[in-house]
Structure 1
Amino acid sequence: MATDHRALWIAGAGGVGREALDTALAAGVPVAGFLDDRGHGGTVRGLPVRRPDDVPAGARYLVGIAAPAVRQRLGALLEARGALPATLVHPRALIAPDTELGPGCLVMGGAYVSSSVRLGAHSQVHYNATVGHDSVFGERVTVYPGGNVSGAVLLADGATVGSNAVVLQGRRIGADAFVGAGAVVTRDVPAGEVVVGSPARPLRG
């Protein structure tokens, strides 16, 4: 996978944003700075922090924030100002050659994305997470560190798989559903539902 070495703006200067910076540095991608309403005018890790409204037209950006709804809002704002989404892959991630990554995706170190997978725009696969063959992600899907998505799984827009959670073969995770850390998903999860435990069950209360 070819790497674009033009300077990148990272939207979000928090934890995931700094992890995106580490991913960029490992991949040899220069970073121009962060875009964040909090701390604008200062620096983070020696890089300037500007407001998202100040993104230069034509700049490349990546949203370094885990929350899918925030990724959607920031992506729309930045693209309305002429910025272009970039995909960022750590050199220690393993991605099958026939896998498709949409614009704005972030794949961190130690991740494995298997054969014939499709990741939708602005999706994130965090460090040491795995995605099995023929799985399909909608937009803004997140797999947290150590998450294990088995083969032929469908994750709809905004779905999240928590740290060390497991989604078994062929399951369907609905839009904006959240699989809690360590959960084992043996059945389909409806849109908007939060599931926890092994086997995973809806969180009540």
Structure 2
Amino acid sequence: MLWIAGAGGVGREALDVALAAGVGVAGFLDDRLAGGEVRGLPVARPAALAPGTPYLIGIADPAVRARLAALLDAAGGVATTLVHPRAIVAPETELAPGCLVMGGAHLSSSVRIGPHGQVHYNATVGHDSRLDARVSVYPGANVSGSVHLAEDATVGSGAVVLQGRTVGRAAFVGAGAVVTRDVPPATTVVGAPARPLPPTPPTP
């Protein structure tokens, strides 16, 4: 039986994927809600995961995903991939352990997605794209062909990344943005065409 790390919005959406795919879920792992129930399932602390138990991380924040994956792997957990039956995964596409692919997502030919990646509902990823560890593609986003999303990068809802672009490590593409040029690491871009978000002025 699968345990889902995170009992918030993405965790509950992961449960929806599991139910649609016929995958049994034992409960959630969440320090904040441990001891209670969510959607009728028990919530335990992540440290309680038994060795050899399958898990999936249902949390949007890549940094938190990295921390939890390290904790759960050290405890002997087994990262497991969940794919909604209404998602399309084309031939020669590879999903590393721990990936979450929601309903309506379309992964085209020869895509590679690294560990603990997330492609949310109705998002698309074009042919020959490479998504490194813990990348998130939010609902309705469109990642064109031959794109490279470096580890911990996020593409926001309804955003578009044009053919052949690179989005750097831990970069964030804002909702509805159109990426026409490479995005440097640890940069937030917004708008169409996408431009770096101006720094917030210091509070007087």
Structure 2 residue 179 is matched with structure 1 residue 181: no
Q: Quick one: which amino acid aligns to residue 182 of structure 1? A: G
**Who is 1:118 aligned against?**
112
Q: Quick one: which amino acid aligns to residue 133 of structure 2? A: E
**Who is 2:35 aligned against?**
41
Taking the aligned partners of 2:66 and 2:28, their CA distance within structure 1 comes to: 17
Provide runs of 4+ in structure 1 moved above 3 Å: none
Compute the TM-score of the two structures, normalised by the length of structure 2. Answer: 0.97
Residue from 159, 162, 169 that aligns with 2:163: 169
CA offsets, 1:40-82, max 9 Å, x none? 0010000000000001111000000010000000000001001
Structure 2 residue 76 is matched with structure 1 residue 82: yes
1:183-202 to structure 2, matched below 5 A, reads 183-202=177-196
1:8-27 to structure 2, matched below 5 A, reads 8-27=2-21
Q: Quick one: which amino acid aligns to residue 137 of structure 2? A: V
CA offsets, 1:106-126, max 9 Å, x none? 000000000000000100000
**Who is 1:4 aligned against?**
none
Shift in Å, 1:97:
2.0
**Who is 2:202 aligned against?**
none
**Long gaps (5+) in structure 1:** 1-6
CA offsets, 1:71-95, max 9 Å, x none? 0000000010010100000000000
SS of residue in 2 equivalent to 1:110 = coil
**Long gaps (5+) in structure 2:** 200-204
Taking the aligned partners of 1:154 and 1:179, their CA distance within structure 2 comes to: 13
SS of residue in 1 equivalent to 2:55 = strand
Count, aligned residues: 199
Taking the aligned partners of 1:48 and 1:188, their CA distance within structure 2 comes to: 44
Structure 2 residue 138 is matched with structure 1 residue 144: yes
**Who is 1:97 aligned against?**
91
**Who is 2:148 aligned against?**
154
CA offsets, 1:11-58, max 9 Å, x none? 000000000000000000000000000110010000000000001111
SS of residue in 2 equivalent to 1:20 = helix
Compute the TM-score of the two structures, normalised by the length of structure 1. Answer: 0.97
Q: Quick one: which amino acid aligns to residue 189 of structure 1? A: V
Identity value in percent: 72
